[in-house]
Amino acid sequence: MKAQITNREIWNIALPIMLGNMAQTIINFTDTAFLGHIGVIALGASMLAGLFYYVFTTIAAGFAIGIQIIIARRFGEKNYSRIGIIFEHGSIFVFILGSILFSILYFFSDHLLLWLIDSPNIYDASLDYIKYRQFGIIFVCFNFLYRGLYVGISNTKVITYSTIIMAFVNIFLDYCLIFGNFGFPEMGIGGAALASFIAEVSAFVFFTLYSYITMRNKEFGLFKIHKLEPELMGRILRISTPTMIQKLFSFSVWFIFFVLIEKMGETATGISSITRSIYMILITPCFAFATTTNTVVSRTIGEGHADQVYSIIFKILKNCLLCTIPIVVLVAIFPVQIARIYTNDINLAYLVIPSIYIICSGTIFQGIGNAFFEAVSGTGNTTAALFLEAIILIIYIVFIWMMTHLTTNVHWVWTAEILYGALLGMFCIIYMKFAKWDKKRI
């Protein structure tokens, strides 16, 4: 039986996850920073097409969280031989899922984007982006699965290595393919998408080779053929399906957020593209500590210490805020300088400033809300987590719709992030306080 988790253990898990989460953040930052120097059309298209793509990947992310919860529970129970079997069943599902998602993107992207986007210029550029990016979705699905495995067994440093590889590949190829440097073709927004696709493949190749070399002979039983267990697959899906729906619902609403903003005009879309990129950097530590909360809560319950869960959540949250607040303060002090990274247009840079102040506040609320939300998921009560967030997202999308119709200032629409974080924290704290989550068996 293991004692209360220490601050050092929290950071040993959270820091590599934080760096791992930076993979998509770096891709977004690099794409936005380079494309911002082309113009607001490229900015808006990369944001909307990128979000459209991520809506599909979130289904795999939700499934991987379910795998992560189960693996963490078996790891806490020291039932290591089951981990490889769980991962193998997850791989079968992920391959089928990835193939279905690719087919939808390949055959229906043009129709869906035409229905969602008003600006013909942004629509054309979005198609140019998706036609390259869609080929990476199967690799992304497996990357999420690998992340779920390594977070579940608390070996998160591997995620750091994959992030470094992914970031290097993406930055280098962005520079080459967007602008046509080093003899590469000048592809603009299509080059950003192609660079991201190759970066995602590179991360998959690394994860697979690393796992095969370091883990095939260990007690986890990876890369061995196991008998298919329908009962196990059913249990995985019972845990994972609510998180898949929750992630799909959550990110779809986030996508709708930007679709509604796009209808406010190309300038509002450009402002929000820059704001989103900065926001993704700010909340990266929040998501990392939230993921840490998920796996530590599940592992702690598996070790038989359900009574320590509440104190562990607050300890992780304290570390999250200690990490997040200095970054938020720095961004709030230098908003113009940070906005200028993304654009040569000084007027656009100044228009972004009010939104930056809003997301600085929103980041704190998101840190608190996501920590408690992932604690709910970590207990194995993924259906409860889905129900709680569904209620909040309905309020969130109604608020966004109202704001886009009541104001022409896009920064007021961004206050929805403060509302979302505050409601998520409040609802989940009440759940953790009064629900009988410690009775859940997975």
Amino acid (1-letter code) at residue 19: L
Q: Tokens at residue 4, please?
A: 């209360």
Cα distance between residue 424 and residue 253, in whole Å: 15
Helix, strand, coil share of the chain (percent; to 5):
85, 0, 15
**Residue 157 burial (10 A CB sphere; 0-12, 13-18, 19+):** middle
* C-alpha neighbours within 13 Å on the C-beta side of residue 167: 15
pLDDT at 441: 65
Cα distance between residue 247 and residue 293, in whole Å: 17
The DSSP symbol for 4 reads P
Amino acid (1-letter code) at residue 186: E
Q: pTM for this structure?
A: 0.79
pLDDT at 228: 85
Closest CA to 133 of 223, 216, 56: 56
Cα distance between residue 176 and residue 293, in whole Å: 39
**Residue 115 burial (10 A CB sphere; 0-12, 13-18, 19+):** exposed
Cα distance between residue 191 and residue 43, in whole Å: 13
Each residue's pLDDT, cut to its tens digit, for the chain (442 residues) gives 454 678 888 888 887 778 767 766 777 777 777 887 777 788 778 878 888 998 899 899 889 988 988 898 888 888 888 888 999 999 999 999 999 999 999 999 999 999 988 888 989 999 999 999 999 999 999 999 999 999 888 787 888 889 889 889 998 999 999 989 998 999 988 999 999 999 999 999 999 999 998 887 677 878 787 788 889 899 889 989 988 988 888 888 888 898 899 889 888 888 988 898 899 889 989 988 998 898 888 888 878 787 888 888 999 999 999 999 999 999 999 999 999 888 888 888 899 999 999 999 999 999 999 999 988 888 878 788 888 989 999 999 999 999 999 988 999 999 999 999 999 999 999 988 887 776 666 6
For residue 358, give every residue at least 6 positions away whose Cβ sits within 8 Å of its Cβ, in sequence order, or none. 411, 414, 415, 417, 418
pLDDT at 440: 62
pLDDT at 273: 83
Cα distance between residue 261 and residue 255, in whole Å: 10
Q: Tokens at residue 36, please?
A: 């911002």
For residue 369, give every residue at least 6 positions away whose Cβ sits within 8 Å of its Cβ, in sequence order, or none. 420, 421, 422, 423, 424, 425, 428
* Torsion on CA atoms 359, 361, 363, 369, rounded to nearest 10: -130
Cα distance between residue 55 and residue 108, in whole Å: 14
Closest CA to 377 of 318, 319, 309, 329: 309
The DSSP symbol for 380 reads T
pLDDT at 3: 46
